[in-house]
Amino acid sequence: MSYDEPLDPDAIRAEVITSDSLWRRVDVVAETGSTNADLAARARAGEPSGTVLIADHQTAARGRLGRSWSAPAGTSIGLSMLVRPEAVPPERWTWLPLVAGIAVSESLQRAAKLPAELKWPNDVLVRDRKISGILAERIEPAGADSGAGCVIGIGINVGLSAEDLPVPTATSIRLQPDAAPVGRDRMIITVLNAFALLYRQWSEATDDTALAAAYLARCGTIGRRVRVLLAGKPDVVGDAEAIDTAGRLVVGTPAGRVTFGAGDIVHLR
């Protein structure tokens, strides 16, 4: 199996678009700057919930705090999903990127047989190296025809060589010697189906206690010494103790327990 096989849009659609599926439209483009930026623009123009945009090559993929990166064509998965959970209270939407993280980690375990774990809030690691990143953006409606939505971007390093990695602390499926051979189509199908199942469970739940437990079971941040990097504020160092029912990280510090809803996390050895 070659990790740089071209994407097969028809094969992807055949396995993720069904009569009772979350997904209603899957578009695949050869190249774009950012699938998140493109799908966010479409969301503001009224694109319906259940749309997926996949790029064979992203030249300016977006991450947190305005970061961007690129990878050689055919070596990564870059996709964005649009959902409009209008029946779910807005304060619960903070769980959406964490739901995506659970879906990616489970998919890497299932399809690639890799020991994937979650790094709060938006990374997926294999053996303490980043293999996937997630970015969720709330999209406000441009008019009265549609409600608010959320675009969730997922990037997964599939066929990158060591020379292609964006940072030394990253990895890819190809670089894991014990990975099961899996192409991008199969990974995309597995991730979309896993997210759809988790999204349905989340949207139908009345609270997030069970989800917090599921995230905690997969989270490699809990129990570690961490440094929390906050824009414009001093770093906070402490022990990551828990994920609360709002998806926030609870850190024990000499001054007491501190709860974080966002921030960059460094795992300290």
In a domain, 2, yes or no: no
Which range, of 23-32, 67-76, 142-151, 166-175, averages the lowest pLDDT? 67-76
In a domain, 4, yes or no: no
Nearby residues of 188 by Cβ (< 8 Å), 6 or more positions away: 7, 12, 54, 77, 79
In a domain, 177, yes or no: yes
Q: Domain check: are 210 and 114 in the same one?
A: yes
In a domain, 73, yes or no: yes
Residue 256 backbone class (left: φ over 0; alpha: ψ -120 to 50; beta: rest): left
Average pLDDT in the chain = 92
Q: Domain check: are 228 and 161 in the same one?
A: no
What is the predicted pLDDT for the residue at 125?
98
Q: Domain check: are 115 and 182 in the same one?
A: yes
Query: How far is residue 73 from each of residues 9, 31, 33, 130, 242, measured CA to CA in Å?
Result: 16, 8, 12, 19, 39
Q: Domain check: are 125 and 180 in the same one?
A: yes
Domain, as residue range, for 145: 9-215
Q: Domain check: are 243 and 120 in the same one?
A: no
| Of the residues 172, 194, 215, the one at which a domain ends | 215
pLDDT at 95 over 80: yes
Query: Residue 198: exposed, middle, or buried by beta-carbon count in 10 A (0-12, 13-18, 19+)?
Result: buried
Q: Domain check: are 181 and 121 in the same one?
A: yes
Q: Is the pTM of the predicted complex or chain greater than 0.85?
A: yes
In a domain, 1, yes or no: no
Q: What is the CATH number of the domain that holds 227?
A: 2.30.30.100
> In this predicted model, which residue has the larger pLDDT, 263 or 82?
82
Rg over alpha carbons for the chain, rounded to the nearest Å, is: 18
Tokens of 33: 């700057």
Q: Domain check: are 21 and 57 in the same one?
A: yes
Going by pLDDT thresholds of 50, 70 and 90, the confidence category of residue 69 is low
Mean per-residue pLDDT for 230-243? 93
In a domain, 180, yes or no: yes
Q: Domain check: are 211 and 229 in the same one?
A: no
Q: Domain check: are 168 and 238 in the same one?
A: no
- Taking Cα atoms as reference points, which of 61, 83, 86 lies closest to residue 72? 61
In a domain, 3, yes or no: no
Q: What is d(CA 238, CA 235) in angstroms, rounded to the nearest whole number?
A: 10
Q: What is the CATH number of the domain that holds 53?
A: 3.30.930.10
pLDDT at 67 over 90: no
pLDDT at 147 over 90: no
What is the predicted pLDDT for the residue at 64?
53
Q: Domain check: are 173 and 260 in the same one?
A: no
Q: Domain check: are 141 and 244 in the same one?
A: no
Going by pLDDT thresholds of 50, 70 and 90, the confidence category of residue 232 is confident
| DSSP code, position 150 | E
Q: What is d(CA 239, CA 221) in angstroms, rounded to the nearest whole number?
A: 9
Mean per-residue pLDDT for 113-137? 96
- Can you point out the beta strands (E) in 50-128? 51-55, 61-62, 68-69, 76-83, 116-119, 123-126
What is the predicted pLDDT for the residue at 59?
87
What is the predicted pLDDT for the residue at 259?
96
Q: What is the count of structural domains for the chain?
A: 2
For 203-217, the pLDDT digits (tens) are 999 999 999 999 999
Give 71-74 contacts, CB < 8 A, sequence gap 24+.
71/157, 71/160, 71/164, 71/166, 72/160, 72/164, 73/31, 74/3, 74/4, 74/5, 74/6, 74/159
Q: Domain check: are 203 and 247 in the same one?
A: no
In a domain, 119, yes or no: yes
pLDDT at 146 over 80: no
How far is C-alpha 189 from the chain's CA centre?
14
